[in-house]
Amino acid sequence: MNDATANPPKAPPQAAKKPSSVSHHGLTVSDDYAWLRDPKYPVVDDPDILAHLKAENAWFEAAMEGQKDRIDALFKEMRARIKEADKSVPQKDGEWLYWVEYEEGAEYKKWWRKPVAGGPDELILDEVALAEGKDYFRLGAIAVSSDGTRLAYSIDDNGSERFTARIKVIATGELLPDEIPGTLSSLVWVGGDTGIVYSLANEQWRTDNARLHRIGTSTDEDVELYHENDDGFRVGSGLSANEKWLVISTSDHETSEVRLVPAADPLAEPILVKPRSKGVEYEVDVYQDDGSSDGMGDGTLYILANDTHENFRLATAPLGEPDRWSTLIEGSDAFYLTGFDLFRDFYVVEGRQDGLDTIEVRYYGDPARVEPIAFPEESYAAGLGDNPEWAMDKLRVSYESMVSPATTYDYHVAERRLEVLKVQEVPSGYDAGLYATERLHVTARDGTSIPVSIMYRKDRTSPGPLHLYGYGAYGIAIPPGFSTTRLSLVDRGFAYAIAHIRGGDDLGRAWYKGGKLEARTNTFTDFVDVARGLVEHGYTQAGRISISGGSAGGELMGAVVNSDPELWGAVVAHVPFVDVLATMLDASLPLTPGEWPEWGNPIEDKAAFELIRSYSPYDNVKAQAYPPMLVTAGLNDPRVTYWEPAKWVARLREMKTDDNVLVLKTNMGAGHGGKSGRFESLHETAEEYGFILWQMGL
């Protein structure tokens, strides 16, 4: 029994007020809770700060004590919907078939393979063993050498997202002496498997480099292949589809630049595809037929770029003249081109039409031949799965909808036929016929039509309780996918809705731009207007709406509880980005310089300062009644630092005029994603839903 259980607090903690202020552009911002940021961060050992976070955790435990039975019941039903002993569909890569597998009761998975020609199963990585005795575990990168003999992988055991890379001999399990701490990247085998390319996180948790490690040498001898001097850019590496080229990319949220290096000779002079131009994003892959050499003049570049249309075009260029781009697929207002994959005999284009995922097979030299893959429902989420080989005659495809469990297909290209390989099992039972899903539109206050995906039981009585989820940032779309945990609300009479608000790119790049920088507040008003629209459509009533969002979606939660608190019956804000102004004013923080294209730079731009100050949730807490709220944080979170939610809750406690429950739970050994492990993380979802049901009176 811990101290919090033995001596539960009788009242929530009140953070000390220690006045401080900063001034920019002749404007002063006061902050009585700035002291909650440990100046030694990422080390957090200030006794007063730790004492306050532990006091908040104790209050969380005390406040939720009466919901323990409900949470346990929710956890059990959520767990019962998961097939505990489960494995993925094996996929061929060279001479091997690879798959992952969960054993009964295991929090983590095991990685397996077996020879295509026949032979015993071979365990190549055991996450269960690696995680043993650790409070937190996350696998970062994993890559098998091209000859199939060695495995490079990286792990994080505290949630800080600084991964340690290791290399093992698969046949014997021997760990080689090579050990690379502090990585934050993929691991790419190059030079005939003599080395791996990776990126280190610098002190500000930024990947400003691509480095080569020769197997069997000291990391002190590693060679920096590329260094990025712009603090706002991040570097990443990968291989071209035919694995002949190392692709080194650097980008921020609106501009990118790509270099190509022969994978066989990673120390060769890089080929710069096209110098960066502000606002132009592009991605590159290389097509070379099987008979071509690796010469610099041989082959064709395929380039996805937004230089002529914000919804991107697909262009080609000779490898020897990489900046001479010719359009292959024009950009379009109607079709948002999100990605492409090259294969030996065809290529695949992915995008969204009217917000719905589209996959098209196309053919080299025959631009008129376009073969879209047809899917059975009107609202769904679909995409290419793992297709590791250059020569493919069938494609692995994933599919789901809000009422259809995740399905794995093989798409037989020549026959244009989908073959079902696996449908997600729900062991406790699931009947899709009991549920309905709709895609409707709500008109926002500026006349914009906002899509909403919604599901509910067909026997639901309306208006009833409704849960509304939103994100709305970074051009990240929220697909209308399947969730077994969601059923715990829906089966209790909730409708579950996803608001496809501006700031995401659900409807294309203009949709993203419509919720960033000067247009940022559209994201918040869209969400409120969707909620009011769902009330007008008879799905629910004001005050009967629970809402949730995390990270930038947590910022959304903070903004809408300030603006329209009476709408919400319960609010869950996960690792919320709520101290927007202070974070964007601090260039030393890990993400800040790279975030300025998303939010604006309040250091240099007075208008950006004033706009961010006008909506930053922490800066706009006021003396009013707030709905019941559950807030989470991660002590080791490098994305949304722990003090943002801690400060926000402290100011809410000071200012709010109601007696509604407000609790803060800080994971003291985890980061941005909360607890690791499939069941540990499930318990946190059970806590979230338990809080919602409690506060909604259900």
Q: Which phi-psi region, left, alpha or beta, contains residue 585 (left: φ > 0; alpha: ψ -120 to 50)?
A: alpha
Active site (annotated) includes residue 672:
yes
Active site (annotated) includes residue 265:
no
**What secondary structure does DSSP assign to 457-490, as a single string?**
ETT--SS--EEEE----TT--------STTHHHH
Active site (annotated) includes residue 637:
yes
Q: Which residues sit opposite 396 in a β-bridge?
A: 410
DSSP 3-state of 283: strand
DSSP 3-state of 118: coil
Candidates 52, 574, 672, 683; catalytic one = 672
Which amino acid belongs to residue 107?
Answer: E
Rounded (10°) CA dihedral 205, 206, 210, 214: -10
**Structural tokens at position 408:** 């794995």
d(CA 58, CA 472): 32
> Residue 408 phi/psi, 5° resolution?
-105, 125
The answer to whether 666 touches 632, Cβ cutoff 8 Å, is: yes
Q: What is the largest CA-CA distance in the chain?
A: 76
Give the Å distances, CA to CA, from 365 to 291, 304, 316, 423, 644.
17, 18, 12, 36, 54
Residues contacting residue 654 through CB under 8 Å, at least 6 positions apart: 14, 17, 32
Candidates 379, 551, 616, 676; catalytic one = 551
Q: Which phi-psi region, left, alpha or beta, contains residue 551 (left: φ > 0; alpha: ψ -120 to 50)?
A: left
Candidates 160, 637, 676, 683; catalytic one = 637
Which amino acid belongs to residue 126?
Answer: D
**What secondary structure does DSSP assign to 383-398, as a single string?**
EE-----SS-SEEEEE
**What secondary structure does DSSP assign to 519-547, as a single string?**
GTHHHHHHHHHHHHHHHHTTS--TT-EEE
- The label of the residue with tokens 């091997």 reads 96
**Structural tokens at position 682:** 């499930």
* Torsional sign, CA 663, 665, 671, 674: negative
Q: Which residues sit opposite 347 in a β-bridge?
A: 342, 362
Residues designated catalytic: 551, 637, 672
